[in-house]
Amino acid sequence: GNSVTQMEGPVTLSEEAFLTINCTYTATGYPSLFWYVQYPGEGLQLLLKATKADDKGSNKGFEATYRKETTSFHLEKGSVQVSDSAVYFCALKGSARQLTFGSGTQLTVLP
């Protein structure tokens, strides 16, 4: 079946530092890949998505590239802000209609 393996957290960075959160997946066929973000006390917000190999999803300074050869979809941001502190989830959608999520990575950005 499908699975998503996500970088263990928590991750603590200083403001303006570079962020990478690793995500690898196992799936049959050609899934779509997503990053969702969850702020304290809230639901999941879509951050970005990519639907085919070599696609790059981007939003609010975050980027992730769909790498089929390495089955990866790593999240990056060049300069994090305190307001980026949240939990980040990598997810995939394959031929089944539900999303399969990684375990989540807690990010804390210190001023």
Partner 1 sequence: KAGVTQTPRYLIKTRGQQVTLSCSPISGHRSVSWYQQTPGQGLQFLFEYFSETQRNKGNFPGRFSGRQFSNSRSEMNVSTLELGDSALYLCASSLFPDRITDTQYFGPGTRLTVL
Question: How far out from the chain centre does Cα 49 lie?
Answer: 9
Can residue 103 be called a binding residue for partner 1 (CB under 8 A)?
yes
Closest to partner 1 by CB, 34 vs 73, is 34
**Helices and strands in the chain: count of H runs, count of E runs:** 0, 12
Separation between Cα atoms, residue 92 and residue 25, nearest integer Å = 8
Secondary structure letter of residue 25 according to DSSP:
E
Can residue 16 be called a binding residue for partner 1 (CB under 8 A)?
no
Can residue 44 be called a binding residue for partner 1 (CB under 8 A)?
yes
CB of 17 to partner 1, least distance (A): 26
Interacting residue ranges for partner 1, rule: CB under 8 A: 29-32, 34, 36, 42-46, 49, 51, 89, 93-104
